[in-house]
Amino acid sequence: MCRGDDPSCADFEIHHRQFVEDMARERRAFLASAFAAKGGIAAMAAGGVALPKKVSAVTRHHHLPANADTVHWGYFSRNLKPQLEIDSGDFATIETLTHQASDDHERMIEGDPGAESVYLWTKDRKGVMRRGAGEGDGKGLGVHVCTGPVLVRGAEPGDVLEVRIVDVTLRPSANPQFRGLAFGSNAAANWGFHYNDFLTGDTREVVTIYELDATGERNWARAIYNFRWPEVMDPFGVKHPTIDYPGLPVDHALTTRNWDVLKGVRIPVRPHFGVMGLAPKEADDVNSVPPSYTGGNIDNWRIGKGASVYYPVAVSGALLSVGDPHASQGDSELCGTAIECSLTGTFQVILHKAGELAGTPIEGLDFPMIETRDEWVLQGFSYPNYLADLGAAAQSAIFQKSSVDLAMRDAFRKMRRFLMTAKNLTEDEAISLMSIAVDFGITQVVDGNWGVHAIVRKDIFPT
């Protein structure tokens, strides 16, 4: 059914106008909410590196929906046309869609105009043709649906962009059958750490669908069913025996659904964005899977409500994109995915100019750094900037070269530098403190460029 996303429909103009009116009504409702009425900046006043010295004279609130016109699927690019332009200090509510929604079309796509426009795939066309970092229909490896990019006026290489996550909400199912609920998918996939280590000796991909309460009354998720990945034939007639291409429509007439799964288990919900970051400068098109110095697919569950993330700006305008929304994930993302679930985030963007960074914790920042109310979280990777570190073949080589050892070494070096520059410790003091008061954890081992994060609490330092 056309919902303003099918130009071939006889009533396309009527449907598209209704879609635009519906989106405008949702935005007006948000702007009339308690958050907007009270002034969103108050929600983020505590903490942070410093209050911005220079923001726009008028703080504005923008809304960026997720649909086939506003997303890019599977890659970052310095050449993408901005979908929104904002000033430092502005707020933006950005809708994001999970790339796993087609695992259950009925629950995660049906009735949702934005999701339907993105996931449209018939024998004749796709709503979003280019999926991945390759040309044409995107035969590259990127998989994430990213909304944006957002251009930040005045941002230049050498600056640092602070992205404050003011709020995160679940995107409810638009199917009337599932009113008040949201859903997510976890794929134990062929790129997971577990894949060649099954007790039975065989290999299989198993998808588990989770249910969440979109009203906010229940703060935990439950599994409702799982199924073994069948051989899928896409609408263009290509067979997919494994999960190897983003957005493959699953025909559940071909699956056997197991409804007796994880009975009684409650999974804490901690919504966050697996992918959030800026366009790198090293290549025109960059696969969305391996994270790097400008962020991207970090897959750290701490990038959620109340956190700020600091990114080094590599290109003019910064070009911020957000995607890969997760309802929950553990450190390591071991099987390859989290609970992949569409979310909407509200962000405030603060630009820190290069000339104003001296003496601050973000002076010389060349990696994504997370700040929560209580902690600093420094992100290490196997290769800090794999695009530069691995040469012309970097985007393929990274998938063969990562290790936890390398990521741990990078996290150690970044924390050492942070403690010495931001906290004025000697190298010996920093090394001692790291062993007794800093927690190192495995962020993920499934994204090509593996990650280790280092966490230090703020309250151990004198005020």
Establish if 289 belongs to a structural domain.
no
Whether the per-residue pLDDT at 43 is higher than 90: the answer is no
pLDDT bucket at 236, cuts 50 / 70 / 90: very high
Q: Is residue 329 part of a domain?
A: no
For residue 398, pLDDT over 80 is answered with: yes
325 strand-pairing partners:
273
Query: What is the arithmetic mean of pLDDT over 297-320?
Result: 98
83/71 Cα distance (integer angstroms): 9
Number of separate domains in the chain? 1
pLDDT tens readout for residues 427-448: 999 999 999 999 999 999 999 9
Q: HSE (CB half, 13 Å, CA atoms) of 115?
A: 28
Percent of the chain with pLDDT over 70: 87
DSSP 255-269: S--B---STT--EEP
User: Is residue 132 in a domain?
Assistant: no
- With beta carbons less than 8 A apart as the criterion, state whether 274 and 326 touch: yes
Rounded CA-CA distance 417/52 in Å is 24
What length does the chain have? 463
CATH code, 383: 3.10.28.20
What confidence tier does 134 reach under pLDDT thresholds 50, 70, 90? confident
**Per mean pLDDT, which range of 26-35, 143-152, 311-320 is the poorest?**
26-35
| Model pLDDT, residue 58 | 76
Question: What pLDDT does 266 receive?
Answer: 98
pLDDT digits (tens, 9 = 90+) for 250-267: 999 999 999 999 999 999
Rounded to whole angstroms, the Cα distance separating 24 from 38 reads 21
pLDDT-based confidence at 52, cuts 50/70/90?
very low
Supply 121's token pair.
């795939």
Q: Label residue 138 by pLDDT band (50, 70, 90).
A: confident
**Has residue 73 got a pLDDT over 90?**
yes
pLDDT at 51: 41
* Kind of pairing between the strands at 320-328 and 339-340: antiparallel
Determine, yes or no, domain membership for 154: no
Identify the residue with better confidence: 40 or 460: 460
* 407 domain residue, yes or no: yes
Q: What is the pTM for the complete model shown? A: 0.89
Average pLDDT along the chain: 90
- Are the beta carbons of 69 and 271 closer than 8 angstroms? no
Contact 140, 399 (CB under 8 A): no
> Cβ(63)–Cβ(36) under 8 Å?
no
Q: How many Å apart are CA 410 and CA 384, to the nearest integer?
A: 7
To the nearest whole percent, how much of the chain has pLDDT over 90? 84
Integer Cα distance of 32 and 261 in angstroms: 42
Domain range for 389 is 376-460
Please tell me the least confidently modeled range out of 17-26, 116-125, 161-170, 197-206.
17-26
Q: Is 308's pLDDT higher than 70?
A: yes
Residue 433 lies in a domain: yes
Question: Nearest 5 degrees, angle CA 227-CA 230-CA 234?
Answer: 125
* pLDDT, tens only, 160-175: 999 999 999 999 999 9
Domain membership flag for residue 408: yes
SS3 153: coil
Largest CA distance in the chain: 73
Evaluate whether residue 418 is within a structural domain: yes
